[in-house]
Structures are given as structure tokens and as C-alpha cells.
């Protein structure tokens, strides 16, 4: 879509709303929205503030409340802001989430307190700034600018602000797809701006299988000076950890250049406390593996290797080993590299960021785009991020908010015939 006087004016108008974007994001940061699994009250207060903000700026808001008795409101709110386009054959969805992760230790927040936004050197600091308030503010002001300028989007545009993304999406997108399937059509264009890179060059179309495993090793506790009276669960767990690490990497060696990193990863991570004193041999040991597996392999294949390793260690040490899955998200079918939403994003970047070389890629982390993909929707993940999600001193780069808003405005106004990237 070559730039015209109209589009040039539109992008300039988007840029003129920089302060409005900062103000919106600041307002979002000030209201913590931690789900009950993170010892919070949910998103109700923040969502109602956001709803009032949208209505004050002239938008009608649809609200879909997932019931949840574990939060004070009893509800987990999901909001939709919609603008009719020249054609209603399909909808361009831009989905962001309003919940955030816990801030962590106060001492690690050296630039500001987690829920007190601070603008410094072109960065807006605060929990939830980049993940995912940046994209929410950018998408809102892209759409608001179109309305102000009297520019009708090509298709219907819907901004979706969901709950529960940080703790599984059961009461966010998954609930919406199950209870309100009429909202989405397979021909819709779906963008989840909840991941990216510093240049905005990578368009995420695929994810690995996520398989988190908790292992419990049971031996027999005894005094440290008399190990023959017990069975050291720590030693058995250490042997199992090393064996799992070796065997899983050996059995699943393939690499796929679409992903970063290109291989399956099998990482021992969390380790629970065992005994409080040095001179006691532990009878129980609990540890975890975080596995991210290329889609060409199955979870069942990985678990067969796990079972074989356990059997070997039990025979060798006499300890007993059990395990349970802490999280299991099989890889969703990837969005095809030639999908229309991919081509439209490439076209937008080609015009607005001509020096970039947009490329599709896959990630080891999980995003809600996978939920769409499992239901047969072609969804992409894209934004311009410094990758500060979940970190202390999280920030959003203000110029990225504005530049991404211009990309969203481009997507909203592209011609009905998909542009060639």
C-alpha cells in the first residue's frame, strides 16, 4: 500500500498521540492486575478503569465475564472494542492482555516502584509496561486515530483485552472460544502483539511443545555419618538429573532453523528444599525439568525416555521415583508462512520500516496465539520489544509504542486484496 497524502497524514496523526499513549499506559501500570494463582484479586478494577477510558473516548465496549469464585468480584472480565469497516466479511483482531505477573523483590526495582509509572530517557517503567500494556495502548490509539480522521478501516477491527493470560488463559481466551465461538471466524485476521524483538523484524508463527515435569525421589533419611542406614535421595536425584539431561538430548537431536534456539531444550530448573541441616541424609528430593520440544517430536516420545531413565535409576539406587506434569501444552499447528496475516504484516513493515528484513520464526515460550492455532485460526505474534517481560525495571520504549501503533493503523487500512510483501 504505497503512501498517499491520506496515509502520510494518518501516520503523522498517530505520532501526534504519543502523550496520549503514554498517559494510557501509565494509567494501566498504576492498577495491579494479578490473578488469584499469583495471590491477586484478578483484573476487575483495571478492566473497569479501561472500560471507562474507552467509553470516555467514544467507544462502545462489549464485556464478557468468565465466572471465577476465587476472586472478590467473582468474575474475570474480557473486553472488546469494535469498529465497523468497509467490509464485515472478516475482522482484524488485535489481542492484548490486562493481567500482569508479580513484581518480585522491591529491592530489584531501582528505577521506580513496580506500580508507579516513571518516564525516563524515552522509557516508561513499571510492571506490565511492555507485557502487555505497550501493545494495548498502541492498538487503542491506532484505532482511535482512524476514527478521528474519519478513515474507515478496510475490515471490521476488534481490539480484544483479555484476562488470565499470565496464568494459562483458562478464563481469558480459552473461555471466550468455548463460550462465545460466534465472535471469531476462520477467515479473520488475528494478531497477538505479545512478543517480538528490538527491531520488530520477527513474526512468530510457531511454538514448541511445553512440558514441565516435577520429579519426586524417595529414599530413606538417616544421619550423615551412617549412610548405610538410609538411602540418599539427593544422590539418586542427582544421578537422575544427569541421566535425563544426557538421554533426552541424545534421543531428540534434530534442529529446526525456524526456531530460536533451533533445538529442543531440556533444562533442570527448580529444586525444592530438602533437609534443614548438613548432617542429615535426605529421604526425599523434589526437582523440576522445563522441556521445550520441537513440534516434530511428541510429548509421549519424551515421556518414554523419562520412564526408561527412572527405571534405570531405581534399579541402580533402590530409590523410588514418581513424577507429575506441571504444565503440558502440545505444540499447535504453525501458522503457514504464506498466511494472509503474515503477508499483510510483512507489507506493513516493508512500507513503514523499509530497512528491515521481516522473517517468520518459532519460539520456545508459550503465547495465547497457540490457543488460536489449535482451533484452526492463523494467528501471528509480533511487536517491537526490548524483551523486558517479567523482569524487574520492566519498561516500554515510547518510540516503539508509537511506531507499532503506525503499523496497526497500516494493517487496519490495507486494501481488501492482500498486499504483496
321, β-bridge pairs: 217
**DSSP characters over 95-135:** EEE--------GGG--SS-TTS-EEETTEEESTTIIIIIHH
Sign of torsion over alpha carbons 126, 128, 131, 135: negative
Torsion sign across C-alpha atoms 359, 382, 175, 288: positive
Query: Which residues fall within 8 angstroms of residue 38, CB to CB, at 6 or more apart?
Result: 101, 102, 166, 167
Question: Of residues 131, 165, 188, 197, which has the active-site annotation?
Answer: 165
Residue 165: active-site member = yes
- Which whole-number Å values give the CA distances from 1 to 201, 400, 401, 414, in the listed order? 19, 22, 22, 6
Closest among 84, 25, 76 to 59, alpha carbons compared: 84
Cα–Cα distances (Å) from 292 to 156, 208, 265, 377, in that order, read 36, 6, 5, 22
Q: What gap in Å lies between CA 208 and CA 330, rounded to an integer?
A: 8
User: Taking Cα atoms as reference points, which of 22, 179, 189, 166 lies closest to residue 98?
Assistant: 166
* Grid cell of 380 as nine digits: 501471528
Hey, what's the cell of 364?
520456545
The answer to whether 99 is a known catalytic residue is yes
Sign of the CA dihedral running 217, 223, 224, 230: negative
Q: Report the chain's C-alpha Rg in angstroms.
A: 24
Question: Are residues 94 and 382 in contact, defined by beta-carbon separation less than 8 angstroms?
Answer: no
- State the catalytic residue, choosing from 43, 68, 99, 404: 99
Query: Which residues are CB-contacts of 369 (< 8 A; sequence separation ≥ 6)?
Result: 190, 192, 194, 204, 207, 332, 335, 379, 380, 381
Unique residue bearing C-alpha cell 470516555 = 56
DSSP letter, residue 147: H
- Active-site residue set: 99, 165
Amino acid at each position: 500500500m504505497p503512501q498517499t497524502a491520506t496515509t502520510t497524514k494518518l501516520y503523522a496523526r498517530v505520532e501526534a498521540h504519543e502523550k496520549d499513549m503514554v498517559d494510557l499506559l501509565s494509567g494501566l501500570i498504576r492498577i495491579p492486575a494479578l490473578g488469584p494463582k499469583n495471590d491477586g484479586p484478578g483484573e476487575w478494577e483495571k478492566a473497569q478503569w479501561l472500560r471507562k477510558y474507552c467509553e470516555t473516548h467514544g467507544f462502545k465496549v462489549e464485556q464478557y465475564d468468565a465466572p471465577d469464585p476465587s476472586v472478590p468480584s467473582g468474575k474475570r472480565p474480557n473486553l472488546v472494542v469494535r469498529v465497523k469497516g468497509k467490509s464485515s466479511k472478516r475482522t482484524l483482531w488485535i489481542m492484548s492482555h490486562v493481567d500482569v505477573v508479580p513484581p518480585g523483590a522491591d529491592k530489584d526495582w531501582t528505577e521506580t516502584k513496580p506500580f508507579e509509572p516513571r518516564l525516563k530517557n524515552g522509557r516508561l517503567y513499571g510492571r506490565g509496561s511492555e507485557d502487555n500494556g505497550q501493545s494495548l495502548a498502541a492498538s487503542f490509539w491506532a484505532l482511535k486515530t482512524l476514527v478521528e480522521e474519519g478513515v474507515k478501516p478496510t475490515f471490521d477491527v476488534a481490539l480484544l483485552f483479555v484476562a488470565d493470560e499470565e496464568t494459562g488463559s483458562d478464563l481469558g481466551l480459552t473461555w471466550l472460544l468455548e463460550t462465545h465461538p460466534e465472535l471469531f471466524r476462520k477467515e479473520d485476521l488475528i494478531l497477538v502483539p505479545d512478543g517480538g524483538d528490538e527491531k520488530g523484524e520477527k513474526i512468530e508463527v510457531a511454538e514448541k511443545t511445553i512440558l514441565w515435569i516435577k520429579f519426586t525421589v524417595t529414599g530413606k533419611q538417616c544421619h550423615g555419618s551412617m549412610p548405610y542406614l538410609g538411602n540418599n535421595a539427593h544422590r539418586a536425584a542427582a544421578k537422575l538429573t544427569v541421566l535425563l539431561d544426557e538421554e533426552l538430548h541424545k534421543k531428540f537431536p534434530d534442529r529446526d532453523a525456524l526456531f530460536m534456539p533451533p533445538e529442543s531444550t531440556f533444562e533442570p530448573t527448580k529444586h525444592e528444599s530438602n533437609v534443614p541441616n548438613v548432617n542429615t541424609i535426605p529421604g526425599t528430593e523434589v526437582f523440576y525439568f522445563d522441556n521445550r520440544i520441537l513440534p516434530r517430536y511428541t510429548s509421549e516420545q519424551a515421556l518414554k525416555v523419562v520412564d526408561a531413565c527412572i527405571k534405570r535409576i531405581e534399579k541402580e539406587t533402590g530409590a523410588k521415583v514418581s513424577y507429575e506434569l506441571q504444565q503440558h501444552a502440545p505444540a499447535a499447528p504453525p501458522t503457514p508462512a504464506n498466511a494472509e496475516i503474515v503477508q499483510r504484516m510483512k507489507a506493513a513493515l516493508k512500507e513503514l520500516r523499509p530497512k528491515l528484513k521481516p522473517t517468520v520464526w518459532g519460539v520456545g515460550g508459550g503465547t495465547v496465539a497457540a490457543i488460536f492455532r489449535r482451533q484452526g485460526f492463523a494467528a501471528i505474534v509480533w511487536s517491537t520489544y526490548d524483551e523486558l517481560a517479567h523482569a524487574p525495571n520492566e519498561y516500554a520504549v515510547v518510540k516503539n509504542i508509537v511506531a507499532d501503533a503506525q503499523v496497526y493503523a497500516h494493517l487496519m487500512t490495507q486494501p481488501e486484496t492482500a498486499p504483496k510483501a
